[in-house]
Amino acid sequence: MKRILLSGLFILWLSSAIKAEDGYRLWLRYDRIDNPILLKQYRHALTTIDFPATSPILITAKKELLTGLQGLLGETPRPTQTNNTLIVRLQSPDELPRLGPEGFIIRTLTRAGKKTILITAATDKGVLYGVFHFLRLLQTQQPIDHLAITSIPSLPYRILDHWDNLNRRIERGYAGLSLWDWFTLPIYKDQRYTDYARANASIGINGTVLNNVNASPYILTPDYLEKTAALADVFRPYGIRVYLSVRFSSPIDIGGLKTADPLDPAVRQWWRNKTEEIYRRIPDFGGFLVKANSEGQPGPQNYGRTHADGANMLAEALEPHNGIVIWRAFVYSNETPEDRARQAYTEFKPLDGRFHQNVLVQVKNGPIDFQPREPFHPLFGAMPATPLLLEVQLTQEYLGFSNHLVYLAPLFEECLDSDTHQPSPSTDASGHNAVPPSRPPRPSDATPVSATIRGMAGVANIGNDRNWCGHIFAQANWYAFGRLAWETGGANTPYSAAIATEWIRQTFSNHPSVVDSIRQIMMESREIAVDYMTPLGLHHIMAYEHHYGPGPWLANAARADWNPVYYHKADTAGIGFDRTITGSNALEQYAPGARTQWLDSNSCPDKWLLWWHHVSWNHTMHTGRTLWAELCHKYYAGVDSVRWIQRCWTGLRQHIDPERWQQVNMRLAIQEANAVEWRNACLLYFQTFSRQPLPEGAEPPDHSLEYYQQHKIYYAPGTNQ
């Protein structure tokens, strides 16, 4: 009996082992459609195919389409044109003027009794995006009988920023080494480079910055440019342009010059020559990303020049080649006289109108640094003459990195949908920020952040871990970034829920209860993380070196604004950062209409309260609780909600392949332990100021404050240790 039981288990194990999924396939799994009726319908509708592929990108698209159909349908349509035909066609831009360089149309047509599905676009890139979209429809099991889709990206720049160092360490990367094996390039081209490009193309990402903004100058040496060109060759058939982060002092570091002054003729000539050298190797090179005069990086201010002087020098070198400069607004002074939340605006707002046409200023979603929750950055809408890129971080530096299930699309959407209360940039004289005709109509005449930008940059969460992102659910953040950048919002609200649904259906299952359950987890997850880390507007209270785990007590960093105590300002009277007129007045950087919501500590929504106000521990919150009680409530609710996710996930066990189920389950166990540490450490610490008890009946902390303060983590990933 025992032996028979064992054998039964083995057979179960064997069948599961064969289907083992390690997460490598991302959302592009193309497994056979598991609904037999739908499969029959799809096979019928896609009996034949007609797809002349004449360019590298079209050949990519055709290869993808045939791979996808072979997987999903278990057969490939015959290459003829009779009835029930899938026609894929490049048409002339004259015929499809509205589509622009990247849009596409998918339509079901019936002519003379013959049914046809047409995927068409005015460019081969448009066709590629249309093909991926069509495969997405099949993967998510949508009806294809009456398709009438026109899709045009909201933003022309949809870029991944890799914070990858040339030694393959990734700054704040938690999924292994950089994909780029610089040492074996240009000869060895890993299959993964192609798979990376393919995944990006499938969600509309059209650019990639290969290296860290804290850039090594060696990236511009001939050896590395040859390696970069090899990667560009792999990415080109997927419609992806390569960009590089450059170090402003490169003319000194590798050029043998004595200065990097942007007004020095020799420096300007050096950059012109270097840029020409790049374009000789990479004709469609995208441009430079620059972090200058920020956190120790060199920049034009070293020579008494402005950010505009520095950016414009590079812009002039790139202009003949249609390249762009992306100049980061994440700057704060080395001396810090001012609330860090104010500094980017203070430095950049006066420069509006002084940048060349091909300079884009890249602004983080919030004014501090990728915290679990920040208000939108005051520069959005405040630089009407300057095209802006919205920089978001996929890598969860402050959100539990690859160990926590946190779906970031609601965070991104919260920013994109924030009303800047600034004039709409479409009416601006420069024309830079003209809302593209493709943008979906907005319900009101508000000017959301999404209407003030020309693109999105996502700090990539990709490494050489087999499942790309460490956490299977971190893949959803990569996916959602691409999808949101393509369509920054619109009819489906919240759009992030619609994207989650798409991702779940492609990644896990089309089973309605599975989709519903996972979507609920995902949509709650970011708020849960806020609750157990930084509720009620708290921010920047993490450990110093690794940004992992709590450190609200830290007070001895080299500069004040690297310290958590600088940000929460807890004392016996209360807690919070007064950024109103009685404090740093960072509030004044926003348009009056935007200020109103945060101005008064009594009407300010609870979730923003401690960002803007220092309030008493007994302040009455909108829930009726005191601040201290609400803080406790939030931290405890955060932990309880992680446990709720664990229970949901346990309930999904029979619907998910065992390897990925187990992967996620183990990560959830880490998340739960971390959430408990955040809660206990923060509440025990803040309790030393509030001097009030924890709620009656609450799970008591299992360690003392001293234990948490002394808990040392060695060799945390993502740091330079």
CB of 166 to a copy of itself, least distance (A): 5
Positive or negative, the CA dihedral 481, 161, 205, 203 is: negative
Which position among 669, 688, 699, 704 is part of the footprint of a copy of itself (CB under 8 A)? 669
Interaction between residue 32 and a copy of itself (CB under 8 A): no
Question: What number of CA atoms fall less than 13 Å from residue 650's CA on the CB side?
Answer: 7
Tokens 């300057």, residue located? 386
What would the x/- binding string for a copy of itself be over residues 592 to 621, using CB under 8 A? ------------------------------
CB of 221 to a copy of itself, least distance (A): 8
In 3-state terms, what secondary structure has residue 326?
strand
CB of 52 to a copy of itself, least distance (A): 6
Which position among 38, 565, 670, 698 is part of the footprint of a copy of itself (CB under 8 A)? 670
Interaction between residue 218 and a copy of itself (CB under 8 A): yes
Which residues lie closer than 8 Å to 249 by C-beta, 6 or more apart? 217, 260, 298, 302
Which run of H or of E encompasses 542?
none
Please give the Cα distance from 289 to 246 (Å, whole number): 6
The number of residues that bind a copy of itself (CB under 8 A) is: 57
Please give the Cα distance from 42 to 143 (Å, whole number): 9
Which residues lie closer than 8 Å to 582 by C-beta, 6 or more apart? none
Positive or negative, the CA dihedral 459, 463, 468, 473 is: negative
Please give the Cα distance from 124 to 88 (Å, whole number): 10
What would the x/- binding string for a copy of itself be over residues 150 to 189, using CB under 8 A? ----------------xxx-------xx----xxx--xxx
Positive or negative, the CA dihedral 308, 309, 314, 320 is: positive
Distances (CA, A) of 147 to 105, 109, 144: 9, 8, 6
Choose among 172, 266, 273: nearest CA to 222: 273
Which position among 539, 633, 667, 679 is part of the footprint of a copy of itself (CB under 8 A)? 667
Residue number with CB closer to a copy of itself (224 or 243): 224
Residue number with CB closer to a copy of itself (76 or 601): 76
Residue number with CB closer to a copy of itself (20 or 555): 20
CB of 537 to a copy of itself, least distance (A): 30
Question: What number of CA atoms fall less than 13 Å from residue 46's CA on the CB side?
Answer: 25
Interaction between residue 19 and a copy of itself (CB under 8 A): no
CB of 152 to a copy of itself, least distance (A): 29
Residue number with CB closer to a copy of itself (17 or 581): 17
Which position among 339, 465, 630, 677 is part of the footprint of a copy of itself (CB under 8 A)? 465
Which position among 67, 91, 108, 520 is part of the footprint of a copy of itself (CB under 8 A)? 67
> Interhelix angle for 56-73 vs 191-202, to 10°?
80
What would the x/- binding string for a copy of itself be over residues 375 to 404, using CB under 8 A? ----------------------------x-
Identity (one letter) of the amino acid at 138?
L
Residue number with CB closer to a copy of itself (216 or 365): 216
In 3-state terms, what secondary structure has residue 388?
strand
Residue number with CB closer to a copy of itself (180 or 577): 180
Residue number with CB closer to a copy of itself (273 or 662): 662
Choose among 390, 195, 211: nearest CA to 288: 211
Which residues are identified as catalytic? 295, 369, 397
Residue number with CB closer to a copy of itself (18 or 429): 18
Distances (CA, A) of 602 to 85, 365, 594, 615: 63, 26, 16, 10
Distances (CA, A) of 255 to 15, 147, 248, 273, 675: 60, 56, 12, 11, 49
Please give the Cα distance from 270 to 281 (Å, whole number): 17
- Length of the chain as a residue count: 721
Residue number with CB closer to a copy of itself (10 or 491): 10
Structure tokens at 164: 């990858």
Which position among 28, 33, 62, 459 is part of the footprint of a copy of itself (CB under 8 A)? 62
Strand partners, 48: 78, 85
Please give the Cα distance from 140 to 121 (Å, whole number): 22
DSSP calls for 61-86: HHHHHHHHHHHHHSS--BSS-SSSEE
What would the x/- binding string for a copy of itself be over residues 468 to 497, using CB under 8 A? ------------------------------
Which position among 53, 263, 434, 498 is part of the footprint of a copy of itself (CB under 8 A)? 53
Identity (one letter) of the amino acid at 365?
N
CB of 464 to a copy of itself, least distance (A): 6
Which residues lie closer than 8 Å to 45 by C-beta, 6 or more apart? 84, 86, 115, 117, 144, 145
CB of 126 to a copy of itself, least distance (A): 20
Which position among 12, 13, 492, 513 is part of the footprint of a copy of itself (CB under 8 A)? 13
Name the percent of the chain in helix, strand, coil, to the closest 5: 45, 10, 45
Q: Specify the stretch interacting with a copy of itself by CB under 8 A; choose among 534-542, 578-586, 631-639, 707-715.
A: 707-715
Identity (one letter) of the amino acid at 265?
P
Contact set for a copy of itself, span 396-455 (CB under 8 A): 403
Residue number with CB closer to a copy of itself (191 or 654): 191
Instruction: Please give the radius of gyration of the chain, using alpha carbons only, rounded to the nearest integer.
Output: 26
DSSP label of 195: H
Residue number with CB closer to a copy of itself (27 or 468): 468
Structure tokens at 86: 């899938």
CB of 76 to a copy of itself, least distance (A): 7
Which position among 16, 673, 688, 693 is part of the footprint of a copy of itself (CB under 8 A)? 673
CB of 670 to a copy of itself, least distance (A): 5
DSSP label of 384: T
Residue number with CB closer to a copy of itself (172 or 377): 172
Which position among 1, 3, 443, 654 is part of the footprint of a copy of itself (CB under 8 A)? 3
Q: Specify the stretch interacting with a copy of itself by CB under 8 A; choose among 142-150, 213-221, 300-308, 637-645.
A: 213-221
Residue number with CB closer to a copy of itself (62 or 579): 62
What would the x/- binding string for a copy of itself be over residues 240 to 279, using CB under 8 A? ----------------------------------------
CB of 23 to a copy of itself, least distance (A): 10
Within 327-408, residue ranges assigned H as helices are 340-348
What would the x/- binding string for a copy of itself be over residues 72 to 111, using CB under 8 A? ----x--x--------------------------------
Judge contact between 496 and 480, C-beta under 8 A: yes
What would the x/- binding string for a copy of itself be over residues 636 to 665, using CB under 8 A? -----------------------x--xx--
Structure tokens at 533: 């880390």
Chain contacts with a copy of itself (rule: CB under 8 A): 3-4, 6-7, 10-11, 13-14, 17, 20, 22, 52-53, 59, 62-63, 66-67, 70, 76, 79, 166-168, 176-177, 182-184, 187-189, 191-192, 216, 218, 221, 223-224, 403, 464-466, 659, 662-663, 666-667, 669-670, 673, 713-717, 721
